[in-house]
Chains A and B, each alone.
Chain A
């Protein structure tokens, strides 16, 4: 029996389609059932539906053997996982963005650190770990403000000098007068696998991984 963690939200549909092509489909529609754990059609597997950031944790701790979530969540969680497949969909970019007329936008573009504002940069984000790491790599001190939503607003409403957030097309950013200062990470949906499951359930998992990998 293998347990598969599915991500709620935008990537659920493409995930279900990809798994279905690999012969893995929930017996019931998650939209209409109140069950938290849904068996797979034909047995041998079951599904749990989770918020995106929880997928790496379920898989790391072995409550699920494999799961699907964005590379952003894999890295932000710091979870110790195997990431054998790039599923391709859910493509977007993790970006540092700031108001187009701000010191940050000017400073980063001209190769400076934004230090001319005379204090640490204040950066709002749902990705504190990735943000801190990106700035640490550049040697720029940063004050990370952790938010759980409406991150663009933080830069517009002067909570922060800049934001780090996902951008698909960049339109939301542009509509709020923000420009991408730097692209930090190319994101797409990844298949993640628990380290111990990969060894202990090798015979069950390998055909599944092969089929998912081949079912583009």
Chain B
């Protein structure tokens, strides 16, 4: 009878207490073993590269996640009996930044790693789980391009440690710095900036063209913005792309962001990443706190990014210890089914 009652199957009703909440799952036996093996393989790589584990609490003051995914709006929140607004961990990076800025203040550089789950409210039908299993690294106190390249290389090494077949992984690399400089040069309102970000993120060239023609004054900034919806280029062709962007750079800040990206890529190339790099100046997606390098990781067999990261030079300042930092995380729920760890 129950199965025939349409209301009991309705996603908007409270879930039956016999099933885990929507977007979460029980991992049993072999699935649990696979996850633990992958985590162990990653922990080994991270430690070999000089990173040490931190385990932040699973709940935090909600404001810690303020700059995570839409102003922290995606965090699952509750008020405790003292009236404090708490959130389930929605982002490791914000927590690690809090730890680095408080208990580890003054110690530079810091190489920290973590593993565990984050909980974010996602659209019910998007296929993105609410509880995601992650592992990741943060490098605090280093501002040089070499630090950015170190994290790109470590991200690639992590995918290799999971036993993804050679050539199955790609890294799309861009810089938020260039886009922010264009937004500033175009004097775009926050609303326009959001619309531009969205159009560029979706490679929506017709939408971007319409927005630019209607709302951005003609000039270098507009031409440069229009270029951001172009397809990514393999690293071999990146210098031509960066040179073109450089010609259109409307300000010193835009130009500096490109120089920075070019030298990061140069260092990364010298280290030979073992994963193919694509340069995409339209790689503007990411958490709100990124200030420079941004990258996303893709692996054959996964329909969405399997991880990503970037530079966030202002986040620690929010916790009273302004220091540069760069990091990345991997989504294990997507990676574990593809992984063949040694």
Contacts and interface: CB of A to CB of B under 8 A. Distances in A.
Contact of A202 (B207, B278, B296): B278
B205 A60 contact: no
Interface residues of B, number: 25
Interface string B96-130: 00000000000000000000000000010111000
Contact of B304 (A86, A193, A196, A206): A196
B303 interface: yes
Contact of A199 (B126, B229, B278): B278
Given A60-B303, A62-B303, A209-B231, A198 B126 contact: no
A85 B203 CA distance: 9
Interface in A62-100: 62, 78-86
Contacts of A62: 302-304
A200 interface: yes
Contact of B205 (A85, A197, A198, A199): A85
A61 B302 CA distance: 9
A80 B203 contact: no
Q: Looking at B234, B299, B304, B305, which has the most chain A CB atoms within 10 Å of its CB? A: B304
A83 B170 contact: no
B293 to A, nearest CB: 17
Contacts, number: 61
Contacts of A202: 231-232, 234, 278
A80 B304 CA distance: 9
B202 interface: yes
A200 B298 contact: yes
Q: Looking at A60, A78, A80, A199, which has the most chain B CB atoms within 10 Å of its CB? A: A199
Nearest to B171: A199
Interface in B303-323: 303-305
Interface in A137-176: none
Contacts of B299: 196, 200
A85 to B, nearest CB: 7
A206 B170 contact: no
Contacts of B123: 78
A46 to B, nearest CB: 17
Given A78-B123, A202-B232, A85 B206 contact: yes
A68 B221 CA distance: 32
A194 B206 contact: no
A81 B202 contact: yes
B63 interface: no
A194 B300 CA distance: 12
B203 A83 contact: yes
A195 interface: yes
Dominant SS at the A interface?
mixed
A200 B300 contact: yes
Given A78-B125, A84-B229, A199 B170 contact: yes
Interface string A182-200: 0000000000011111111
Contacts of B205: 84-85
Interface string B123-147: 1011100000000000000000000
Given A60-B127, A78-B123, A78-B125, A199 B303 contact: no
Interface in B149-196: 170, 172
B47 interface: no
Interface string B278-304: 100000000000000000101110111
Contacts of A79: 126
Given A196-B304, A199-B232, A82 B170 contact: no
Nearest to B169: A200
Contacts of A206: 231
B203 to A, nearest CB: 4
Contacts of B203: 82-84, 193, 198
B204 interface: yes
A184 to B, nearest CB: 16
Given A202-B231, A202-B278, A196 B305 contact: yes
B303 A196 contact: yes
A83 B207 contact: yes
Given A61-B127, A84-B204, A196 B302 contact: yes
A143 B257 CA distance: 48
Nearest to B230: A84
Contacts of A194: 303
Interface of A: 60-62, 78-86, 193-200, 202, 206, 209
Given A81-B202, A194-B303, A200-B298, 4 more contacts: A62-B304, A195-B303, A196-B304, A199-B278
13 contacts: A60-B126, A80-B304, A82-B204, A83-B202, A84-B203, A84-B229, A86-B206, A194-B303, A196-B303, A198-B231, A198-B232, A199-B296, A200-B298
Give 7 closest A-B pairs by Cβ, nearest first.
A62-B303, A86-B206, A82-B203, A199-B298, A84-B203, A83-B204, A196-B298
